Amino acid sequence: MMGRLFWKIFLWFWAAMLLVGGGVAWGVSVVYEQLVAEEIAPPFVEGIADARAERVAAILAYGGRKEALRYLHHYDRHPFPMLVLNPQGEDILGHPVLEEVARYATDPGLRETQPRSGLADVTMPDGVRLLVVAPLPRTMAEFREMERWREISHRERAPDPTTPMIQTLQVLTAIAISALVCFWLAWYLAKPIKQLSQATRRLSEGDLSVRVSPDLSHRQDEIAALGREFDHMAERLQSLLDAKKRLLVDVSHELRSPLARMQVASALAQRQAPEASAEFDRIDREIERLGSLIDQVLDVARQNEKDAAIPMDDEVKLHQLLQEIVADTDFEARANARGVHLLACPKLTLQGSEELLRRAVENVVRNAIRHTPPGTTVEVTLTHAPTHATIEVCDAGPGVPQAMMEHIFDPFVRVGEARDREGGGYGLGLAIAQQAMSRHGGTIKAENRSAGGLSVFLDLPLPLKGTTGTTQG
């Protein structure tokens, strides 16, 4: 599909080409008229006069007077008629003859002393010598008038009904050719820009492997240079993120050993000082939290590699999956005076990874449980349209500031530090959910509810494997 930039380039180039073509044609016609009037007119007009005279002479010689009279009849209304003079200097059609022209017929030697164009001799079968005289215009206005009358006589003698059609086809062909040239030029300029736009969108969605130089290798212009700079930027981003991921993995691995030693030391110390068991229990809880954090950091850092190894060909019964997740999380939430309810759940089956979808939904629901106040419930709803299915998870918590809305799916982002610590969150659950949704070609977004709380929407593309019935919980 062609974008607006393509059509702008196409229309501007096409309009410019038509204007330039029209201007050049007009300029050529003006210059031509000036050249005809100033330089070309005398020899050009004399050549035309000679040709006309020779034509009439040939008709007289081979067709006789009758055929010549039929031909000359079309010049009767002409302001500058063709003349056929007899030896007495009279026109055989009765046109008036100027004295200086009649002398060329009565005095054959005059043509040698006073040459004139547009004369042709012919001797008839009866021996009579005739002189054909073609008119010579004295001014440019007379020349144009002669041409106008010549065209009129031609149309009257042999009108060509195809002439307007041919002229129209010539104009349409010129317009079509110019349109094709401008179309190709616009496509040549707009295509790499569209490729760069698509690559930029993929890069913003996390696909750091995208490159555009292979598609622009045949170009040697500024757009190709821009493509090389884009690839350099993508490679730099990929190397930085890979370095960050390696750092997280290395640091997490290095922290595991001292944590394990701390746990052992705490257990030994607790045996030697049982009176300080409360303090040692607090130490053990903090060590467990650090261990849990390290596990989640490793999980996020290795998510792409782990996800790539997970097959995506499971027949996932989405309604059944949601019912299991809601049942498990509701059991956990009741221990903290909260609940999880499944409001609507039509039967949907799609192809994907049940493990990844379970991970995504569980993280979102558990995040909602942490933020919804005691005595309230988290509501889960499944709906579907012809092109996608949507899982909506709503809580009754304080919501998210609008400035943070786009960042809550980034790793280690927490809206409220103290609140998230108390709830056991490290800012990784929603990031894991987003990665799982991306693997399915889906999206995840959040919106504040008008009545208070936050709604998280997980959109999954369809086609469906089946849609029947509706279950509610």
The answer to whether residues 333 and 416 belong to one domain is yes
The radius of gyration of the chain from alpha carbons, rounded to an integer in Å, stands at 47
Structural domain includes residue 88: yes
Kindly state the greatest CA–CA separation across the chain: 156
The answer to whether residues 326 and 300 belong to one domain is no
Q: Is the pLDDT of residue 262 over 80?
A: yes
Pick the closest to residue 178 from 22, 359, 68, 351 (CA basis). Answer: 22
The answer to whether residues 333 and 440 belong to one domain is yes
Dump pLDDT digits (tens) for 29-72. 777 666 555 544 456 567 777 787 888 888 888 888 788 777 77
pLDDT at 151: 55
Across 13-27, average pLDDT: 80
Q: Is the pLDDT of residue 358 over 80?
A: yes
Number of domain units in the chain: 3
Structural domain includes residue 141: no
The answer to whether residues 289 and 326 belong to one domain is no
Across 15-28, average pLDDT: 80
**Alpha carbon distances (Å) from 359 to 219, 296, 303, 311, 320:** 46, 13, 12, 15, 15
Dump pLDDT digits (tens) for 115-157. 777 788 888 877 888 888 877 765 556 566 655 555 544 554 4
Left, alpha or beta for 206 (phi > 0: left; psi -120 to 50: alpha)? left
Strands 339-352 and 377-384: parallel
- Beta-carbon contacts of residue 78 (< 8 Å; ≥ 6 apart): 146, 149, 153
The answer to whether residues 219 and 342 belong to one domain is no
**Alpha carbon distances (Å) from 20 to 28, 218, 248:** 12, 30, 63
Supply 10's token pair. Answer: 């196409």
Pick the closest to residue 380 from 250, 242, 472 (CA basis). Answer: 472
The answer to whether residues 441 and 454 belong to one domain is yes
Which of 279, 309, 339 terminates a domain? The answer is 309
341 is catalytic: no
Do 380 and 340 meet the contact criterion of CB atoms below 8 Å apart? yes
The answer to whether residues 87 and 228 belong to one domain is no
The answer to whether residues 407 and 305 belong to one domain is no
- Beta-carbon contacts of residue 413 (< 8 Å; ≥ 6 apart): 404, 407, 427, 431
Task: Give the helix ranges, DSSP H, for 273-348.
Answer: 277-301, 303-309, 318-334
Across 167-174, average pLDDT: 79
Terminal-to-terminal C-alpha distance of the chain: 45
Q: Is the pLDDT of residue 342 over 80?
A: yes
Active-site residue, from 73, 154, 232, 253: 253
pLDDT at 143: 60
What CATH number should be reported for the domain holding residue 274? 1.10.287.130
**Alpha carbon distances (Å) from 401 to 398, 407, 447, 458:** 9, 10, 10, 20
The answer to whether residues 317 and 406 belong to one domain is yes
Whole-prediction pTM? 0.48
Residue ranges making up the domain that contains 221:
206-309
Percentage of the chain beyond pLDDT 70 is 79
Supply 78's token pair. Answer: 């002409």
Structural domain includes residue 274: yes
